[in-house]
């Protein structure tokens, strides 16, 4: 049988979400934040004589000519991509071609993908061979399911970076480990990838970065790990080698990642991350309230001053992006002031505040189901900013929405946001690396800076004063933090506007509650809850 042409299609996300970073992408001159690491990793496991092409629907059009070229289409992604995955399946079927789906959402909710010809469920390293064998035998449908948490990521191949057009993206993802040792009630990561982190070897990870480097990529690389510090021992073995690799090439990459708050307790680890050139860390703070953190099993965030912990990370040169959640069962009354104070005390500019969402396959979902409080899930309804609270809360929904609105109004008010950026700008202790000067990037950066200044001073005159105040202050007091400060400022172009969109949607939801309180509509079958609830950010 002739080796097939395989078209990988990465489905569309909802256009306007916290994570779409649309205005930041526009100003950098790129199409969307990041390429599909899952698809290009799986592509590297296909037989060498299969011809593979990639269309990322967030960056380019999928045409009928693309589909006609292919013998099969492989697609799939995460929950917010479910609706578009179905569209892709329909488009491909209309051209008479078979579709294989896989990836996190098919793995988590296979029943939502019955229209696909093949469902390849699980981490591809452990299951793709069964699909390949079936295809080669001439089978044109089937479901293949890998064993959970069994894949040794040390066998994962180097992703097919050659399939990506780097010009489309703000950054590129790589992965060192899968899984997280913690047990947050709302988390689906531990259900999909397990609680025993599995890490790649040093040589394997460096070969991956070398492939990215050889493909000509420079700049921001995100370690997409669920919790990079999940296995500290493996990470401490890797980071010195990463530093050495960076030094030998004069720091071609700057890194970001996701980690749990206990990172702040490990000075050695903070130093190693700094030396390797990590500049940003996403941390799930979730709530300023200790009872809530205990109830949602996020104990790693308790017994500490969150502000002190975050400032330790700043002192290691990395700014913090954090996830916060509104709508926990333990919120007895308004928590907006406490959350605003927490965001102000920690100084975190980029705070992803969302409504508690019960994702499929979580302890939270199972508990809410048992308590008969779970509502039907609308996969395409947006991200957790507007589509959360997919359950009957214990507090009146109106109060939760009002609280959420108050937090957004305060933290994304321009002066408050830029004040936090300015404070972080002073606190960051960026390392003094010997970075190689890159002409192409310098020209790109000059164009970017011109567009940024134009937007901040001409298109958005209300941002002019806080913008210059922040830039001048950091330039005077801590110039090495300027690059990070500019990133946080650029984020505001998206986040400020996005917060206003969410606020408008909250107003609509609050008005709907006024007209007909959901307590009256949805209450009937509720049984008394035993413990409490939670959301959708990680680490």
Interatomic CA distance for residues 332 and 106, integer angstroms: 36
Query: Among residues 38, 328, 287, 303, which one has the least CA distance to residue 156?
Result: 38
Binding residue for ligand SF4, selected from 103, 197, 284, 466, defined by CB under 6 A: 284
Paired strand residues for 120: 144
Q: Residue 117: which of ligand B12, ligand SF4, none does it interact with, CB under 5 to 8 A by kind?
A: none
Which of these segments, 55-63, 186-194, 480-488, 520-528, binds ligand SF4 (CB under 6 A)?
186-194
Binding residue for ligand B12, selected from 100, 263, 401, 424, defined by CB under 6 A: 100
Q: 3-state SS string over 143-197? A: EEECCCCCCCHHHCCCCCHHHCCHHHECCEEECCEECCCCCCCCCCHHHHHCCCC
Binding residue for ligand B12, selected from 178, 198, 274, 395, defined by CB under 6 A: 178
Binding residue for ligand B12, selected from 85, 175, 292, 301, defined by CB under 6 A: 175
Contact between 326 and 403 under an 8 Å Cβ cutoff? The reply is yes
Q: Residue 180: which of ligand SF4, ligand B12, none does it interact with, CB under 5 to 8 A by kind?
A: ligand SF4
433 burial (CB, 10 Å; 0-12 / 13-18 / 19+) is middle
Do the strands 72-75 and 99-101 form a parallel or antiparallel pair, or are they unpaired?
parallel
Residues 6+ apart with CB under 8 A from 523: 392
Is 302 strand, coil or helix?
A: coil
Pull the structure tokens for residue 211: 């492939």
Q: Mask 155-184, x = binds ligand SF4 (CB under 6 A)?
A: -------------------------x-xxx
50 binds ligand B12, rule: CB under 6 A:
no
364 binds ligand B12, rule: CB under 6 A:
no
Q: Mask 197-226, x = binds ligand SF4 (CB under 6 A)?
A: -----------------------------x
| Beta carbon of residue 498, minimum distance to ligand B12 (angstroms, whole number) | 11
Query: Among residues 18, 15, 105, 92, which one has the least CA distance to residue 55?
Result: 92
> Which is nearer to ligand SF4, 169 or 282 (by Cβ)?
282
46 binds ligand SF4, rule: CB under 6 A:
no
Cα torsion 290, 292, 298, 301: sign: negative
| Beta carbon of residue 103, minimum distance to ligand B12 (angstroms, whole number) | 3
Interatomic CA distance for residues 399 and 466, integer angstroms: 32
Interatomic CA distance for residues 454 and 21, integer angstroms: 18
486 binds ligand B12, rule: CB under 6 A:
no
Pull the structure tokens for residue 402: 């009002």
- Report the interface residues with ligand SF4, using CB under 6 A: 180, 182-184, 187, 189-190, 226-227, 260, 284, 538-539
- Report the interface residues with ligand B12, using CB under 6 A: 13-14, 17, 19-20, 33-34, 36-39, 41-42, 74-76, 78-80, 100-105, 107-108, 120, 123-125, 173, 175, 178, 188-189, 192-193, 224, 226, 359-360, 383-384, 536-538
């Amino acid at each position: 049988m002739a080796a097939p042409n395989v078209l990988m299609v990465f489905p569309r996300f909802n256009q306007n979400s916290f994570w779409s970073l649309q205005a930041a992408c526009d100003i950098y001159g790129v199409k969307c934040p990041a390429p599909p690491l899952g698809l290009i990793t799986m592509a590297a496991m296909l037989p060498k004589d299969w011809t593979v092409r990639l269309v990322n629907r967030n960056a380019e059009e999928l045409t009928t000519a693309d589909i006609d070229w292919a013998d099969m289409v492989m697609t799939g992604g995460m929950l917010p991509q479910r609706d578009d995955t179905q569209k892709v399946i329909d488009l491909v079927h209309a051209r008479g071609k078979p579709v294989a789906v896989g990836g996190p959402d098919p793995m988590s909710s296979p029943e939502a993908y019955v229209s696909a010809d093949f469902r390849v469920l699980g981490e591809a390293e452990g299951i793709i061979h069964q699909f390949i064998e079936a295809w080669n035998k001439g089978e044109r449908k089937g479901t293949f399911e890998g064993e959970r948490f069994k894949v040794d990521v040390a066998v994962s191949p180097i992703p097919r970076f050659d399939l990506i057009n780097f010009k489309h993206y703000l950054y590129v993802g790589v992965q060192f480990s899968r899984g997280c040792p913690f047990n947050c009630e709302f988390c689906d990561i531990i259900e999909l990838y397990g609680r025993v982190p599995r890490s790649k070897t040093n040589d394997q990870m460096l070969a991956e970065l070398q492939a990215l480097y050889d493909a000509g990529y420079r700049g921001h690389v995100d370690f997409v790990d669920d919790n990079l510090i999940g296995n500290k021992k493996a990470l401490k073995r890797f980071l010195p080698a990463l530093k050495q690799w960076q030094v030998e090439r004069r720091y071609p990459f700057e890194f970001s990642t996701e980690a749990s708050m206990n990172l702040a307790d490990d000075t050695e680890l903070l130093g190693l991350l700094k030396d390797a050139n990590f500049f940003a860390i996403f941390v799930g703070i979730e709530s300023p309230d200790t009872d809530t953190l205990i109830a949602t099993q996020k104990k790693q965030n308790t017994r500490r001053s969150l502000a002190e912990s975050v400032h330790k990370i700043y002192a290691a040169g990395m700014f913090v992006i954090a996830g916060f959640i509104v709508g926990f069962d333990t919120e007895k009354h308004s928590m907006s002031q406490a959350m605003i104070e927490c965001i102000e005390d920690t100084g975190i500019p980029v705070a992803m505040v969302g409504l508690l969402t019960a994702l499929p396959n979580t302890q939270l979902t199972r508990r809410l189901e048992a308590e008969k409080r779970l509502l039907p899930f609308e996969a395409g309804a947006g991200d957790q900013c507007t589509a959360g609270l997919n359950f009957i809360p214990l507090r009146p929904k109106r109060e939760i929405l009002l609280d959420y609105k108050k937090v957004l109004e305060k933290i994304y008010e321009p002066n408050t946001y830029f004040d936090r950026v300015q404070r972080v700008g002073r606190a960051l202790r960026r390392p003094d690396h010997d970075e190689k000067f890159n002409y192409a990037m310098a020209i790109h950066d000059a164009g970017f800076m011109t567009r940024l200044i134009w937007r901040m001073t001409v298109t958005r005159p209300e941002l002019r004063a806080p913008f210059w105040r922040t830039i001048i202050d950091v330039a005077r007091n801590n110039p090495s933090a300027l690059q990070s400060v500019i990133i946080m400022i650029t984020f505001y172009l998206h986040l400020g506007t996005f917060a206003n969109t969410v606020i408008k949607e909250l107003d609509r939801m609050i008005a709907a509650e006024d007209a007909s309180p959901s307590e009256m509509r949805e209450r009937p079958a509720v049984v008394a809850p035993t413990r409490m609830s939670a959301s959708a950010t990680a680490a």
